[in-house]
Amino acid sequence: MTEILLPAISILFHGLAFAMVLYLISVGLSVTMGLMGFVNLAHGVFAMFGGYAATTLMNRYGVPFPLALLGAVIIVGAASVVFERVLYRRLYGGAELDQVLMTIGLVFMSVALAKYFWGPLAQLFQPPAVLSGQIDLGFREFPTYRSFLIVCGGVLVTALWLGIERTRFGAQIRAAVDNLPMAESVGINTSQLFTLSFALGSGLAALGGGLGAEILPIYPGYATDYLVDFLIVVSVGGLGSIRGPFFAALLLGITDTAFKYLLPELGSFFIYALTLALLMWRPRGLVGSA
């Protein structure tokens, strides 16, 4: 019994931690894609620079971990406002292909910039002493940092959920996702809404990049190599949804971990096939509306 149970728990645990990181990074992409109908392949760039900002603040300037994360979120969030206003805005409602190509351009530039400023190697990531080592949960030990990730993810998911369901801002986002012209005509300032949600989504991605640097190491290829994962979460989850990507992230995180553990030679192939099958079954994603 324990021979099956222990690996299963281990897979579930690590899969959950991975899923939380995936969710944090991707949820903003889902909202902005659902809201503005913008195919943004450069979302991973914000997560990557979030990770770079956090690790640099910690390693080079000795900023404590929580403050470094906060700093990363603020820096990336603010920068994303500029990007939204100057670049993205011009292509709202435009051809999908233009959006794809412009964001690929941004990805290329970010890869080059990251390599120029930080070199080709992955950034050193050391969580504070409190969060390193193992934690004893009674029946067995777990890595503390990953437990922290799961708790952190859980808290943030709840907060986001409440924020979207209960606050005025959340209601405005839901309204705009459902019916943009109607939302505009009842007096919602959608232009401002776009900018704010874009900044929020990028900030969350930066947080995910910083928090998740232990699972998804920060290196110049980050924005291209994990892009497929983020896109899977968003497309399988459903555009414009907060819940959908959560389920999709759980599915991807746990399946991916299970395959890496049990059948490493088949891992990615199965994930891609599964994504293809899920998208055939539900082309708008699990909880898709748009």
Partner 1 sequence: MTEIAAHDAPQGTVGIFSRRHRLRWTEALPWVIALASYFAFPNYLALGSQILATILYGLSLDLVLGYAGIVTLGHAAFFGTGAYAAGLLAAHGYGEPFLGLVVAAISAGIVGCLTGAIILRTSGLTLLMQTLMVAAMLHEAANKANSITGGADGLQGMEVKPVFGLFRFDLYGKTAYLYCLGVLFIGWIIVRRIVYSPFGRSLTGIRENEARMHAIGTPVFRRRLTAYSISAALAGVSGALIAQTTQFVAVDAYGFERSGNILIMLLLGGIGRLYGAFIGVPLYMIAQDQFAEIDPVYWYFWIGLLLVLVVLFARGGALGTLERLKARWSKR
Q: Which residues bind partner 1 (CB under 8 A)?
A: 33, 39, 87, 90-91, 96-98, 100-102, 104-113, 115-116, 224, 228, 231-232, 234-235, 239, 265-266, 268-269, 272-273, 275-276, 279-280, 283-285
What is d(CA 84, CA 288) in angstroms, rounded to the nearest whole number? 24
With respect to partner 1, which residue has the nearer C-beta, 15 or 285? 285
E-strand ranges in 25-162 read 134-136, 141-143
> Nearest approach, Cβ of 6 to partner 1 (angstroms)?
28
- How far apart are CB 110 and partner 1 at their closest, in Å? 8
Max CA distance (Å), the chain: 61
192 vs 272, beta carbon nearer partner 1: 272
Question: Looking at beta carbons only, is 23 or 148 nearer to partner 1?
Answer: 23
Beta strand 134-136 with 141-143 is antiparallel
Q: 214 or 229, CB closer to partner 1?
A: 229
Residue 290 Cβ, how far from partner 1 at the closest point, in Å?
Answer: 9
Q: How far is the CB of 237 from partner 1 (least distance, A)?
A: 11
| Smallest separation (angstroms) from partner 1 to the CB of 157 | 23
Contact 183, 194 (CB under 8 A): no
Nearer to partner 1, 196 or 290 (CB): 290
> Is the CB of 153 or the CB of 285 nearer to partner 1?
285
Q: Which is nearer to partner 1, 129 or 280 (CB)?
A: 280
Rank residues 80 and 172 by Cβ distance to partner 1 and give the closer one: 80
Residue 71 and residue 13: Cα distance in Å, rounded? 29
CB of 283 vs partner 1, minimal distance in Å = 4
Cβ proximity of 203 and 84 under 8 Å? no
Closest approach, Cβ 70 to partner 1, in A, equals 29
**Nearest in space to 229 (alpha carbons), one of 214, 210, 209:** 209
- What whole-number distance in Å separates Cα of residue 124 and Cα of residue 234? 29
* The residue type at 65: F
The secondary structure of residue 133, as a DSSP letter, is S
CA dist., res. 267 & res. 258, Å (int): 8
Residue 63 sits at φ, ψ, to 5 deg, of -70, 135
Q: Are 59 and 236 in contact (CB under 8 A)?
A: no
Min. distance of Cβ 245 from partner 1 in angstroms?
Answer: 13
CA angle (18 as vertex; 265, 72 as ends), nearest 5: 130
The separation between the first and the last C-alpha atoms of the chain, rounded to the nearest angstrom, is: 45
Q: How far apart are CA 237 and CA 240, in angstroms?
A: 9
